[in-house]
């Protein structure tokens, strides 16, 4: 059974080569690229909508969104006056570096501060494909259960920040413990910040926005 393993290895090596090339594109333009990953419906697009409003007039952003079908998310982003390109993946459960490279030909980077990449909702596959991003933000909504970092370690090990989303629902989610979710992340040896927030009600957004500003500052340096 060595052949499939070899093929997979070759695919990933080619992906990583294109990812490095994407990163050169971003670096040349001084753009920081942030990859948002989560299970379906954890609140990636809602977070983008709230972040766009909060950063308006301060940082210029654009968005590349991956989904199996529909351009719903891109339309939601464009409604906020921000350029958004939808990649419709069909059957593919993740974005890869070549898809992002193609999208870059339709996404002018001049003058941009942050390029958000909203990955396909999936807690498994996206973690294996480098896109050329500088940071991974992994969302865990309070309705999913605090054991997700333990059950999907590859994704959560890759997180540069773990966002605990929909905290406005905590009063109804008596089982969810933010402390247990953080402990599960630490158990993986990941010291990334844990940022609880509600895109809907606004709580916790400041820490997330500061994390973005810091990422941008570090790229500029
Ligand atoms: N109560 C509450 N609901 C939220 C919050 N953020 C998102 N939602 C709801 O959760 C659902 C999914 O939100 P989306 O932002 O579309 O999630 P997503 O991660 O972009 O979804 P996919 O792109 O399909 O993976 C929607 O019904 C949102 O209104 C929040 O902070 N609080
Ligand atoms: Zn979305
Ligand atoms: Zn290129």
Least confident of 5-9, 159-163, 189-193, 201-205: 5-9
CA 169 / ligand 1 centre spacing (Å):
12
Which one, of 24, 75, 154, lies nearest residue 88 by Cα? Answer: 75
- Measured from the CB, is residue 207 less than 6 Å from ligand 1? no
Q: Quick one: pLDDT band at residue 220, thresholds 50, 70, 90? A: low
Q: Quick one: pLDDT band at residue 29, thresholds 50, 70, 90? A: very high
State which ligand 1 atom lies nearest to the alpha carbon of 197: 31
What integer pLDDT is reported at residue 3 of this predicted model?
A: 64
pTM of the predicted model as reported, rounded to 2 decimal places: 0.96
CA 43 / ligand 3 centre spacing (Å):
30
- Measured from the CB, is residue 39 less than 6 Å from ligand 1? no
* CA Rg value for the chain: 17
Q: Which helix (DSSP H) or strand (DSSP E) does residue 217 occupy?
A: helix 205-220
- Measured from the CB, is residue 173 less than 6 Å from ligand 1? no
Question: Which positions ≥6 away from 188 have C-beta within 8 Å?
Answer: 149, 150, 153, 156, 157
Question: Which positions ≥6 away from 117 have C-beta within 8 Å?
Answer: 33, 34, 35, 36, 63, 64, 65, 66, 95, 100, 131, 133
8 A C-beta contact, residue 131 and residue 20: no
Question: In terms of pLDDT, which residue wins out, 101 or 11?
Answer: 101
């Amino acid at each position: 059974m060595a052949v499939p393993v070899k093929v997979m290895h070759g695919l990933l090596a080619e992906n990583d080569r294109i990812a490095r090339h994407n990163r050169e594109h971003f670096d040349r333009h001084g753009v920081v690229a942030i990859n948002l990953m989560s299970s379906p419906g954890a609140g990636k697009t809602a977070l983008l909508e709230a972040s766009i409003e909060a950063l308006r007039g301060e940082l210029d952003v654009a968005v590349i969104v991956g989904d199996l079908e529909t351009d719903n998310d891109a339309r939601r982003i464009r409604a906020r006056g921000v350029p958004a390109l939808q990649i419709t993946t069909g059957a593919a459960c993740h974005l890869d570096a070549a898809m992002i490279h193609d999208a870059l030909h339709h996404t002018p980077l001049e003058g941009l501060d942050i390029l958000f990449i909203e990955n396909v909702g999936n807690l498994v596959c996206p973690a294996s494909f480098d896109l050329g991003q500088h940071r991974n933000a992994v969302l865990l909504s309070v309705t999913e259960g605090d054991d997700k970092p333990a059950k999907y370690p590859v994704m959560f090990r890759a997180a540069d920040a773990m966002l605990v989303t929909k905290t406005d629902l905590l009063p109804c989610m008596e089982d969810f413990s933010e402390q247990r979710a953080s402990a599960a992340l630490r158990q993986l040896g990941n010291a990334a910040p844990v940022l609880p927030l509600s895109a809907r009600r606004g709580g916790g957004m400041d820490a997330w926005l500061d994390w973005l500003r810091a990422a941008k500052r570090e790229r500029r340096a």
